[in-house]
Amino acid sequence: MSQASAGAPDKPKKGSKTPKPPYVKPMSPHLQVWRWHVTMLGSILHRVSGIGLYIGAIVVVAWVAALAAGPDIYAQYLTYAANPLALVVWVPLSAGAFYHLASGLRHLLWDTGAGLTPKTADALSTLSIWFAVIATIAFWAVMYLDGKVQL
Amino acid sequence: MSEGYRTDRSRVEGLGSAHHGAGTWIKERVSSIFLIPLAVWGLWSAYKLSGTGYDGAIAWLRSPLHAILLILTILLSVYHMRLGLRVVVEDYVHKPFGKGLFLLLNLLICLLLAVVAVFSILKIAFGSQIGV
């Protein structure tokens, strides 16, 4: 909400043009006010992984564009993408994809009205996080064992 | 409905519900439902494709099924992430100029990604890429 819409502010005293902050305004609870709990962590990770996947989409479209541009440009793309250092990008991206997928399923379930008791909601959030951790490790372990990743 | 309770000032400012929140909410959910199988397929394809080089990737994308699924995956992803990032911008950027700028950038990036991806995929799938 913009400041102009915050209803009637305190009346300015005679002589002063506009009321100066700090106004006495109600505070909205935010990250630094809440006690940490797992549904909150799950929500934050959902948003962070969503933003990460936005970058991932750019990387994937760059891949297909490089492929369409021919072997020379594609070879250039691979010098970056197939570099062991690129794992710093690929591993978090895959983790983000696994997490956003699991966490998204959790949200779709919640949207039906199910699974919203504190106990179940906590369990679903913990499960999403563990699914992402285990799936990411499994994915890259298989990639490594298949010789697709050399360190 | 609640119009009778609004003050003149609040009507002029035009803030408050735009009355299409439910539609946006449903669009985000519907795209996410389609993206469940497509994301799994995308991760599986990433695994299959890695290490196959230029020829392997071209051969893979020459398959009509792969080309169609990849176009679907990218278009739905771009649609979904435009809606998602829009909410992020609206949550954190409150000044009209900055908010408008980021929302426009979001739209521009998503449009560009969609067009570049579809063009590239079709170019390969129809077999007119350089060098082969």
For B76-127, write each residue's pLDDT tens digit.
Answer: 999 999 999 999 999 999 999 999 999 999 999 999 999 999 999 999 999 8
Whether residue A6 has pLDDT greater than 60: no
Whether residue A1 has pLDDT greater than 60: no
* Tokens representing residue B97 in the block: 């100029």
ipTM given for this complex = 0.88
* Most confident stretch, A6-15, A22-31, A78-87, B105-114: B105-114
- Please give, rounded to a whole number of angstroms, the shortest distance from the CA of A118 to a CA of chain B: 23
What pLDDT is attached to residue B1? 46
First to last CA, chain B: 64
Q: Span B28-125: which CATH code?
A: 1.20.1300
Contacts of B94 in chain A (CB under 8 A): 1-2
Domains of chain A and any CATH numbers: 37-145 (1.20.1300.10)
Whether residue A30 has pLDDT greater than 80: no
CB pairs < 8 Å spanning A and B: 101
Residues 6+ apart with CB under 8 A from B48: B60
- Chain B residue whose CA is closest to A58: B113
Domain-wise residue ranges, chain B = 28-125
Q: Do A67 and B129 touch (CB under 8 A)?
A: yes
Q: Do A4 and B36 touch (CB under 8 A)?
A: no
Whether residue B15 has pLDDT greater than 60: yes
For A119-140, write each residue's pLDDT tens digit.
Answer: 999 999 999 999 999 999 999 9
Contacts of B83 in chain A (CB under 8 A): none
Segment A27-45 mean pLDDT: 83
Picking from B47, B66, B108, B119 by the largest number of A CB atoms within 10 A of its own CB, the best residue to mutate is: B47
Q: Do A1 and B36 touch (CB under 8 A)?
A: no
DSSP result, B55-114: HHHHHHHHSHHHHHHHHHHHHHHHHHHHHHHHHHHHHH--SHHHHHHHHHHHHHHHHHHH
Nearest to B124 among A50, A58, A68 (CB): A68
Nearest to B131 among A54, A65, A70 (CB): A70
Q: Do A71 and B130 touch (CB under 8 A)?
A: yes
